[in-house]
Amino acid sequence: MKKFIVLVKKEVKELLTIQMILPLIIMVILFGFIGQIISKETEKFAAPQPILLINQDAPDSLAIVSDVLKKNNLAVSVFNQTDITAAIAEAQSKRIPALLVIPEKFSQGLNNFQPQELSIYKIVQNFSLLASAKYNMVDQAMKGINSYFSDEWIKEKVSSIEPANLKNPIGAKEFVNINDKTAEVPFSLVMGFIQKQTTFIPIVLFLVIIMAAQMVAMAVANEKENKTFEILLSSPVNRKTIIFAKLVGAGIVALLFAATYMIGFGSYMNGVTGGALSGSAGAGIASSLQALGVVVTPIGYALLGLSLFLGVLVALAIAIILGILADSVKSVQAVTTPLMILILLPYFLITFTDFGALAPGVKWLIYAIPFSHPFLAVGKLMVQDYAFIGGGIIYQLLIFLFFVFLAAKIFSSDKILTLKLNFKRKK
């Protein structure tokens, strides 16, 4: 047992070098920094956005349109000249994203029930996704202006009926059903809340599995290349103990990476979503989620954690074998390519497709890949399908034991020193 603990410590020390820790620290700081910046930018969008207004009509039109714009979270600035070129230059200098022009005889035409047009100039100075939200707010304000004058027309022509009832004579009650449980709640709220709670777990798992696998394969290949592998094998330690020590040591480092990535990436996602991941956004639908059975229990979290950990262990067991096949550190990338494919395939199919609607053959192919079960467990956790998660854990454990047995067989034979894949061309 003492020798095993010594080997585990040795493996952890070899993996936790400054070359491995420094990129990890940098990534966490980077994620947090980006998240803070995006969070501050998101807060800016919550404040009223500026818009420049030119009125070529009567003062009443300016007052009405300005009031509607303010109700749509826009801060109105009136340009006192009628020169549009000068107004655009003013908007550019003050970084105002849009200019709205009320034409002559605007109110007169509306009073005669004649459709009118407003000129909108969108001053583009940034092509980012966040910047485009400013222009979307202008579009929403135009809908508000349309709605206001539409209501005025209806009130004048049909004074006995509310305009809202005329424009929307049919309402809808929306119900969501999950596993034979039903609640009256908008589907968008339920899906939005669930996705915000589970969005970054598969991403973190994906990154950790790939990094841990590359790390272990690189460590084994480095030992072979530096001829320290023979010294380790010739020591008076059971070779199966060496395998388990490498797996446990790498597993500890992988857990450290997972926890660090969860903290850093969680900070990033909170910044992107404006704090929605904290759960405050879903407080209003908590009772509906409970009625639908969408509640995460401590047992569910424990099963999810076990599934994630087994997924990492399976990757590490395969990576050790692939590291043995590498003839040098440079060839690690090539020999670990099949493992990367086995991770990428289920990740993209489960994350970006309707997995339940896939053909049975494709679904069973994904089920056969052990790394698919941690990705699937995230969604199953929200509906408390513990039987599926438990079955995936058992399957992952069997796959893990198989590859550990295979690695033990390889380590126990003398082929371990000569077994390799040579990617060099023969002359």
Please provide the DSSP assignment of 376-420 as one string: HHHHHHHTT-HHHHHHHHHHHHHHHHHHHHHHHHHHHSGGGGT--
pLDDT of residue 396: 93
31: which 2 tokens?
A: 């994620």
CB 265 within 8 A of CB 211: no
Q: What is the pTM of this model?
A: 0.63
Pairing relationship of beta strands 119-122 and 98-102 according to DSSP bridges: antiparallel
pLDDT of residue 406: 86
pLDDT of residue 392: 93
pLDDT of residue 367: 92
Pairing relationship of beta strands 119-122 and 175-178 according to DSSP bridges: unpaired
pLDDT of residue 269: 52
**Quick one: fold of 47-168?**
abc type-2 transporter like fold (3.40.1710)
pLDDT of residue 391: 94
Pairing relationship of beta strands 49-55 and 98-102 according to DSSP bridges: parallel
Question: In angstroms, rounded to a whole number, what is the distance separating the alpha carbons of residues 76 and 253?
Answer: 55
Averaged pLDDT, groups of 10, the chain, 427 residues long: 73 60 65 65 74 90 90 89 88 88 89 88 70 76 88 81 74 75 78 66 73 76 72 71 76 72 60 46 62 77 84 84 74 76 81 77 90 84 85 94 85 65 50
For residue 424, CA distances in Å to 150, 217, 327 come to 75, 19, 10
Question: In angstroms, rounded to a whole number, what is the distance separating the alpha carbons of residues 207 and 362?
Answer: 24
pLDDT of residue 394: 95
Task: Identify the DSSP state of 67.
Answer: H
pLDDT of residue 427: 45
pLDDT of residue 67: 92
Query: Residue 235: phi, psi to the nearest 5?
Result: -75, 155
pLDDT of residue 53: 92
User: CA Rg, the chain, in Å?
Assistant: 31
CATH 3.40.1710.10 segments of the chain: 47-168
Question: In angstroms, rounded to a whole number, what is the distance separating the alpha carbons of residues 86 and 150?
Answer: 32
